[in-house]
Amino acid sequence: MARRTIRVSLALAVIDALTGKPVLRGAKVCLESGLPAIRKSDGYWVFVDLPPDFYTVIVEAPFYQKRKLQIQVGDSFSLIQVAMLPGKNFPFSQPVKWLEGEFSIEQPVWAALEEDPPRFRMIESFAKGAQDISLYFTGTAFSIQRIWIKMKGKKGKLFWLSPQPNRQGEYHIDSPLPWEIDHTAKVLPVVEVERDAAGHYEFPLLPMCKSICFVKQDGTLLTPKRRTGDE
């Protein structure tokens, strides 16, 4: 009897959006149709043998805001990182302020976080078109992370950032730099803002967050920078 080959169509890593750490306890991942993902020993959630199409994936976990994502599955394997924002019932170890508001635009909205100490710091200059950059990183280990790079006088841009294997401090970005950058560039971690059907959002402001601004998918500012101590 011929053995049936099982094809992994989609794998998801579920992480805390603010810390980058895996969300392990009580997480559930399924398609909107109800089909559950398979939890693997390496922590990934996988769907197998999905026909190429667009799928709605629902991710839930205790103390976190529910995520609902539209994901395109093709003939090849896809790996998606799902960042979960803590909800108002999350057991934070320190007092947390909440920023609330509404965005009516249909495209994704990202919160760019200026932290103290900064999670990333540019340590040298890079030419326009570069895709390999060096950064000083103070956070916890990650496999891939969304960042916003902003040079004074230039429009900001969103990138996916991934570490270079066995090359400490060196990272790869998913698209070429549209301008030259130097040590004055701001490199900020960004978190996709989860909104309800009316566009309302609730965003936790941790003590390490000095300021926050919201940006569009193309990297342009949606709101001016606001200092979190003013909230």
CA distance to 13, 29, 143, 159, per residue, from 49 (Å): 18, 16, 25, 30
Fold of 8-84: Immunoglobulin-like (2.60.40)
Tell me the pairing of strands 209-215 and 145-150: unpaired
pLDDT in the model for residue 140: 67
3 confidence band (pLDDT: 50, 70, 90):
low
Positive/negative CA dihedral, 221, 198, 63, 228: positive
28 confidence band (pLDDT: 50, 70, 90):
very high
Query: Given a cut of 60, is residue 231 above it in pLDDT?
Result: no
The arithmetic mean of pLDDT across residues 142-165, rounded, is: 88
197 confidence band (pLDDT: 50, 70, 90):
confident
Measured in degrees and rounded to the nearest 5, phi and psi for residue 157 equal -145, 140
78-84 β-sheet, strand order: 38-39, 45-48, 8-16, 78-84
Looking at per-residue pLDDT, the higher value among 223 and 109 belongs to 109
Q: What is the pLDDT of residues 78-113, one digit of tens each?
A: 888 898 999 999 999 888 889 999 999 988 999 999
CA distance to 74, 194, 200, per residue, from 55 (Å): 11, 18, 24
Domain layout of the chain by residue ranges = 8-84, 97-230
Query: Given a cut of 60, is residue 10 above it in pLDDT?
Result: yes
Tell me the pairing of strands 38-39 and 200-205: unpaired
138 confidence band (pLDDT: 50, 70, 90):
confident
Measured in degrees and rounded to the nearest 5, phi and psi for residue 228 equal -70, -25
Query: Given a cut of 90, is residue 176 above it in pLDDT?
Result: yes
